[in-house]
Amino acid sequence: MEGESPGRRGRPGREEAGPESGESGRGRPVNVRSEAGRSEDDAGPRGVGPRGAPRRQPTRETAARTYPRALPVVPVRARGLTVEDAAGRRYLDCSSGSGALALGHNHPVVLEAIRRVLDSGAPLHAMGLTTPVEDAFVTELLRTLPPRLSAHARVRFCGPGGTDPVDTAVALARAATGRAPVVTVTGAHHRAAAGACCPADAGEPPAGVLLEPVRGADGVLTVPDAWLRDLRRITAERSVPLIADETETGVGRTGAFWAVDHSGVTPDVLILSKAIGGSLPLAAVVHHDALDGHDALDALDDHLDGHRHDSDGHRAGFPRHRAGASGAATFRGNQLALAAGAATLAHVREQRLAEHAATLGGRILSRLRDLAAEFACVADVRGRGLMIGMELAPPDGALDGTPADADPPHTGSELAAAVQRECLHRGLIVDLTGPAGNVVRLLPPLIVTEEQTSAVLDRLADAVQAVDRRRDGHVPPHRAHVPH
């Protein structure tokens, strides 16, 4: 069945793998016309159909939108790993909505969950009121959390915007501790000792330490497990809440249900978004009950076993704040997103898709390391589970530059942009990340099969080879797809 997942029943469904859909091996997208024998643009006024959208977009939308320029695809249908555009071309989507689509596009369990809510007559917008749909989501979410957090968890929904859950978590930590500074962990931090994030001699400790277990926007950089364990110990000793941002890494993406599970660390606060909504906008902050309400300061000390005393031997005084008000937003807890999210969480858990991601992710990394050994422009491959980055750099190490149509490409960002374009010509959608935009990121859905994975890697290898040959002055044959 389409969308069937691995685990007890074996590999995920094979809905898009066959050659008849243009997705086997090094195949190219197939131009599929409608049953009536005409394309989407044949109907209606000239130039008004969906195929003309890329031409109209630059005159209608802000130039700040970059996706339509890097990926000039007009999707009209999607299922699992596959996206079909207005011209009937099919692509393997390894961006998965930047990680929001844990089960790929339009998975049957997600669609069924949404239909049940629509058919029930239940309110679609309840703005924080308790509903059966919300209760079912929270119940399923608690099943997945690290046990030491689940037993004391409090869930607060917030606006689904990109920074809303982070703002909520920071406000929570500040309210609970009465302190303002929040330390954000960067690559510079975890190249040094964990204590650098929270030094004992820096005066008043911060309100919290915030980190991403795998930093996707920084180029798919994984925080070492041992370093994270040291940080947990130090923050506990100094009564500083540890905040883990699992926006992109959660729900099985890294090969564990939550990326912090790899290290065995239990954070005080989890920031959740993207995949928890089952493809719809949803965000939440899960925190230890010691951070909740009027007694948060005393409870936090008991929870972390920390001790703060002034020069007279008394507990140092911090202003008490109510931690319950942060995170309010009009569109928090959308009912359709809660239903889709609960179905996604349950499916990933029951079908053991995190384990599947760990297995396939290891095979992808192995294949990409072979690619790095073959092509000098592949500087590094890294990642965890199905969150993988391939860093591009010319042999001279030039990484600067804005991705452009440089031919041949010279900088790392130009190489990555060229690989992305060549992938698109071959029917593969990939994303770019990293401060220099020189990392090709693979985020396939957790239901991806071994056969589909092989097709993805074949197309990616072809794209890298084409770019590498062009860099060396050998122009490869044009691989763009010809509609038929």
- For 309, phi then psi, to 5°, come to -130, 145
- Three-state DSSP class for 387? strand
What is the model's pLDDT at position 191?
52
Angle between helix 412-425 and helix 450-471 axes, rounded to 10 deg: 130
Q: Which tokens hold the place of 3?
A: 């969308």
> For residue 113, which of 141, 131, 136, 139 has the smallest C-alpha distance?
136
Tens digits of residue pLDDT in 449-471: 999 999 999 999 999 999 998 87
Instruction: Give the Cα-Cα-Cα angle 236, 167, 306 (nearest 5 degrees).
Output: 15
% of the chain at pLDDT higher than 70: 71
Which amino acid belongs to residue 339?
A: A
> For residue 216, which of 269, 253, 168 has the smallest C-alpha distance?
253
Tens digits of residue pLDDT in 58-78: 677 776 656 666 788 889 999
Q: Which residues, listed in sequence order, are joined to residue 214 by a DSSP beta bridge?
A: 222
CB 109 within 8 A of CB 445: no
Residue 31 confidence (pLDDT) above 50: no
Tens digits of residue pLDDT in 215-248: 999 999 999 999 999 999 999 999 999 999 999 9
* Interior/surface letters 76-103, b for 16+ CB within 10 angstroms, e for the rest: bebbbbbbbbbbbbbbbbbbbbbbbbbb
Spatial distance between the Cα atoms of 58 and 52, rounded to a whole number of angstroms: 11
Pairing of strands 90-93, 428-429: parallel
> If you search the block for the tokens 């406000």, which residue do you land on?
171
Q: Which tokens hold the place of 157?
A: 């929904």
What is the model's pLDDT at position 319?
39
13 falls in which pLDDT band (50, 70, 90)?
very low
* Structural domains of the chain, ranges and CATH numbers in brackets: 19-101+352-471 (3.90.1150.10), 110-350 (3.40.640.10)
Highest mean pLDDT among 25-29, 122-126, 417-421: 417-421
What is the model's pLDDT at position 302?
54
Whole-model pTM: value is 0.81
> For residue 127, which of 313, 285, 333, 312 has the smallest C-alpha distance?
333
Mean pLDDT score across all residues of the chain: 81
What is the model's pLDDT at position 161?
80
Q: Of 2-6, 94-98, 298-302, give the lowest mean pLDDT range.
A: 2-6
Q: CB under 8 Å to 13, separation ≥6 — which residues? A: 1, 2, 3, 4, 5, 80, 447, 449
Strands (E), 216-281: 221-222, 242-245, 269-272
Highest mean pLDDT among 125-134, 249-258, 320-329: 249-258
